[in-house]
Amino acid sequence: MDDDVEDKVIVMNLNRPKHGQSDRFNHPSPGELADGSQLYGPGRGRTSDLRPQPDTGPEAKEPDYQPPPRKSDPLPKPGDAYRAHARFLNRLSSDQKLIHFVDKECWCEGYAYSDLRRVRWVKGDNPAAGPVLELRFVEAEITEVRVEGRNLEDIHHWISEGAMPWVWEQPEGFRTRDDNAVVITRITIHPVDRETGRR
């Protein structure tokens, strides 16, 4: 029994490459030499393996992936042409962290979308002016933001989606004859009493 074990050990040792000869197995095959894919092997002037790598092709993209825009839509500043909201086409592909409410003098106040708890339509003080968009933010204190104007449906949608960077109250003297234009006539911000839920 001991002789059988000793014979197996000897055979196994004979099949192992001797020290210093292990690199002989790293030489290119005749087929690799014929197509020129490995002209340099270990010890032939280069240390890297030059065998062709499989072509993986272009990386697969996620179906909803949108490349980021070349520029973002910065907050409006005095002298800019009036727009009621940021351009949709320049929206960043990631969710917005803040929504900024810009008043007619270009002062702005930003609130975290993570604090937005409610978006709803309410009746305005002036029935002829249409409904008012009301947003409620809950943080250390509760804040209610009311956006008044016309054609605010898209703004309502994009705020609900967390994708609107800013909205802008029309500056003094701005007028438009386009009945389909989005116009914000007034933005008001009020603290809300936590116990009563009223302004």
Q: Is the pLDDT of residue 31 over 60?
A: yes
Within a domain: 168: yes
Within a domain: 112: yes
Residues 108 and 41 in one domain: no
User: How far apart are alpha carbons 129 and 122 in whole angstroms?
Assistant: 12
Residues 108 and 44 in one domain: no
The count of domains in the chain is 2
Within a domain: 64: no
User: How far apart are alpha carbons 22 and 71 in whole angstroms?
Assistant: 57
Q: What is the pTM of this model?
A: 0.60
User: How far apart are alpha carbons 8 and 22 in whole angstroms?
Assistant: 22
Residues 46 and 107 in one domain: no
Tell me, what's the pLDDT at 170?
94
Residues 45 and 108 in one domain: no
Within a domain: 12: yes
Within a domain: 15: yes
Residues 103 and 188 in one domain: yes
User: How far apart are alpha carbons 188 and 132 in whole angstroms?
Assistant: 11
Which residue reads 């197509």 in tokens? 35
Range of the domain at 188: 98-192
Within a domain: 14: yes
Residues 42 and 122 in one domain: no
Determine whether 86 is exposed, middle or buried from the number of CB atoms within 10 Å of its CB (0-12, 13-18, 19+): buried
Q: Is the pLDDT of residue 72 over 80?
A: no
> CA quadruple 90, 97, 121, 82: dihedral positive or negative?
negative
Residues 183 and 125 in one domain: yes
- Contact, 33 vs 50, CB < 8 A? no
Question: Strand, coil or helix: what is 156?
Answer: helix
- Contact, 75 vs 102, CB < 8 A? yes
pLDDT digits (tens, 9 = 90+) for 124-173: 888 777 899 999 999 999 999 999 999 999 999 999 999 899 999 999 88
pLDDT digits (tens, 9 = 90+) for 92-116: 556 678 999 999 999 999 999 999 9
- Percentage above 70 pLDDT, the chain: 60
Tell me, what's the pLDDT at 188?
96
Q: Is the pLDDT of residue 198 over 90?
A: no
Within a domain: 36: yes
